[in-house]
Amino acid sequence: MLHLASRSPRRRELLGLLGIEPALLDVDIHEQRQPGEPALDYVNRVAREKAGAGLLQVLAVPGALVLGADTEVVLDDLVFGKPADDEDAARMLRLLSGRTHEVITAVWLLDAGREEHIVSVSELRFAVLDEAEIAAYVASGEPRGKAGGYAIQGRAAAFVAHLSGSHSGVMGLPLHDTYQLLRRFGAAP
């Protein structure tokens, strides 16, 4: 049985597209980048910690398999997590406006005797956003709880001038890579 160590409804929905209905695990991981830690290493570490914390919850369940993931927006080595409030979301969008940034998603799959992972890095270029666009988008509430203050699957799709990489990876779970990982564990539908 696959367990998803995530509170993200989007990851659950994306797994549903693969025909998987995971059991949900509530894990609480301190997401703090260490001084000097490269952004990719940080995202990878947090995803591994989520999966590991989830596995500890279900070790007694025979055949338990745990998926943990983390997604962050990175611009010039600055990691944009979830905005603290609407003002923070607007600040992030101003910084991303007219610029190319990366979205890094790491996915770890663990069971009692094995672990593997993938890392998806996508590049996005935002159009130049004016203050009215930013204000309207923030007022929609969509940036809340979203890395970088935007949701590519929502209204922010209109901001993306170019995407190179995984659209679903930007949403929080790169489906192609995740499916391949699940296949290696014999857990793909």
Q: Is the dihedral of CA 141, 27, 122, 90 positive or negative?
A: positive
76 is catalytic: no
Q: Which domain range does residue 147 map to?
A: 2-184
Domain-embedded: residue 98? yes
For a pLDDT cut of 70, what percent of the chain falls above it? 100
Residue 135 has phi, psi (to 5 degrees) of -60, -45
Residue showing tokens 């962050």: 72
Question: Based on the structure, what is the number of domains in the chain?
Answer: 1
Asked whether the beta carbons of 182 and 18 are under 8 A apart, the reply is: yes
- pLDDT for residue 134: 97
Q: How far is CA 14 from CA 9, 29, 52, 73, 103, in A?
A: 9, 22, 21, 19, 17
- pLDDT for residue 87: 97
Domain-embedded: residue 189? no
pLDDT of 7 over the 90 cut = no
- pLDDT for residue 188: 87
Q: Could you tell me the CATH number of the domain that includes residue 7?
A: 3.90.950.10
Q: What is the pLDDT of residues 33-73, one digit of tens each?
A: 999 999 999 999 999 999 999 999 999 999 999 999 999 99
Among residues 70, 77, 111, 130, which one is catalytic?
70
